[in-house]
């Protein structure tokens, strides 16, 4: 039987044919990059750390449970983290306009790539998808929380609640060129749980656009676990990859 939704989708596709959000080339479905744009990005599709998703060099002799040195030393406290691609010149062409120039039309293809990045994870126990909160001042200037735009389709696919308001974030100056230790210090204490009733006992997936040192995810996990969360994991569109 043909569903109403399918008919509406066909009409919508006729009026607004699906195109790659980056270059406007026609594609088969909404929310995907065209083959050329997809090939340009350094997707994390090979061997990676079982816990944080850190990509190992191609040809690395690995098994599915191998951990990177950071996770092996117990410094990563999230249950797991995955990212769709490496933060480099190619992904910046997506990230920077999306974050700073209002190109919110990229969100659907980006979040589809993030769902793809979770392919080796059992997500069936997740209850809540939480975009990393933005301070009010930044939200006011930017007009949107880019993490929330990415989180919405992910929550829909996973059939999870989305939580925008259980945690507030204080404004602090940009962390642009700080190292990992400075980032950890700068982020410490910025998050505050205001709705612990929505956090207690929940398995929470954090969503962010970019993971730099992991300090934001770690600090948010700290306050959520203190408020009684059952587990905290994370997914980002891209991540900074430094040699270990
Ligand atoms: Zn394209
Ligand atoms: Zn790791």
d(CA 4, CA 2): 7
What's the CA-to-centroid distance between 127 and ligand 2, angstroms?
A: 24
34 and 72 both lie in a single domain: no
Measured CA to CA, the distance from residue 37 to residue 124 in angstroms comes to 31
| Helix orientation angle between 215-226 and 180-187, rounded to the nearest 10 degrees | 40
Sorted by sequence, the CB contacts under 8 Å of residue 75 that are 6+ apart come out as none
Q: What is the pLDDT of residue 10?
A: 67
In a domain, 59, yes or no: yes
Predicted local confidence at residue 232, as pLDDT: 98
244 in a structural domain? no
Q: Please indicate, yes or no, whether residues 81 and 34 belong to a single structural domain of this protein.
A: no
- For 52-90, what is the HEC assignment? CCCECCCCCCCCCCCCCHHHHCCCCCCCCEEEEEECCHH
Q: Are residues 52 and 169 in the same domain?
A: yes
Structural domain of 26: 1-39
What is the distance in A from the centroid of ligand 1 to the CA of 30? 12
| Average pLDDT, consecutive stretches of 10 residues, N- to C-terminus, the chain (244 residues) | 64 75 87 89 93 86 83 93 96 92 92 96 96 92 93 96 96 75 87 97 98 94 98 97 76
Residues 61 and 176 in one domain: yes
* Alpha carbon of 9 to ligand 2 centroid (Å): 40
Q: How far apart are CA 221 and CA 231, in angstroms?
A: 8
Q: How many residues appear in the chain?
A: 244
Would you state the pLDDT for residue 11?
67
Single out the residue of 217, 207, 211, 205 nearest to residue 242, CA to CA: 211
Same domain for 170 and 109? yes
- Residue 242 near residue 100, CB atoms below 8 Å: no
Pair 55, 165 in one domain: yes
Same domain membership, residue 167 and residue 118:
yes
Centre of ligand 2 to C-alpha 7, Å, is 45
- State the pLDDT at residue 8: 66
CATH number for the domain that contains residue 234: 3.40.50.2020
Element (H, E) at 47: none
CB contact at 8 A, 237 and 209: yes
Q: Give me the residues paired with residue 205 across strands.
A: 129, 233
pLDDT of residue 62: 72
pLDDT for position 14: 66
| 18 CA from centroid of ligand 1 (Å) | 11
- Report how many helices (DSSP H) and strands (DSSP E) the chain contains, helices first: 9, 7
pTM: predicted TM-score of the whole model, two decimal places: 0.90
Query: Are both 21 and 95 inside the same structural domain?
Result: no
CA of 93 to the centre of ligand 1 (A): 11
One domain, residues 65 and 129: yes
Q: Is the domain of 114 the same as that of 221?
A: yes
**CB hemisphere CA count around 231 (13 angstroms):** 13
CA of 174 from ligand 1 middle (Å) equals 31
Up-side HSE of residue 156: CA atoms within 13 Å toward CB?
9
Quick check: helix, strand or coil at residue 126?
A: coil
User: Is 172 domain-assigned?
Assistant: yes
The Cα–Cα gap between 15 and 146 comes to: 27
Ligand nearest to the CA of 40: 1
Q: What are phi and psi of 19, to 5 degrees?
A: -130, 155
What are the tokens at 167? 């945690």
Domain presence at residue 49:
yes
The CA 239 to ligand 2 mean position distance, Å, reads 12
And the tokens for 197? Answer: 């009733």
pLDDT at 168: 96
117 and 167 belong to one structural domain:
yes
Please tell me the total count of domains within the chain: 2
Determine the straight-line distance between the first and last CA of the chain, rounded to whole angstroms: 54
């Amino acid at each position: 039987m043909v569903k109403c939704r399918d008919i509406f989708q066909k009409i919508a596709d006729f009026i607004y044919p699906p195109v790659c959000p980056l270059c406007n080339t026609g594609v088969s479905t909404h929310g995907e990059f065209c083959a050329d744009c997809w090939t340009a990005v350094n997707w994390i599709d090979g061997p990676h750390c079982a816990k944080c998703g850190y990509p190992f060099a191609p040809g690395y002799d690995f098994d599915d449970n191998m951990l990177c040195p950071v996770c092996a030393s117990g410094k990563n406290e999230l249950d797991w983290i995955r990212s769709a691609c490496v933060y480099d010149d190619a992904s910046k062409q997506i990230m920077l306009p999306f974050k700073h120039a209002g190109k919110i039309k990229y969100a659907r293809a980006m979040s589809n790539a993030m769902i793809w990045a979770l392919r080796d994870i059992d997500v069936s126990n997740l209850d809540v998808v939480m975009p990393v909160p933005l301070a009010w001042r930044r939200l006011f200037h930017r007009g949107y929380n880019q993490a929330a735009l990415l989180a919405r389709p992910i929550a829909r696919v996973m059939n999870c609640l989305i939580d925008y308001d259980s945690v507030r974030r204080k404004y602090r100056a940009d962390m642009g060129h700080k190292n990992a230790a400075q980032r950890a210090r700068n982020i410490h204490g910025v998050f505050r749980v205001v709705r612990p009733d929505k956090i207690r006992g929940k398995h929470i997936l954090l969503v962010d656009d970019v993971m730099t040192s992991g300090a934001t995810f770690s600090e948010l996990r700290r306050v959520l676990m203190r408020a009684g969360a059952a587990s905290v994991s994370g997914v980002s569109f891209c991540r900074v990859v430094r040699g270990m």
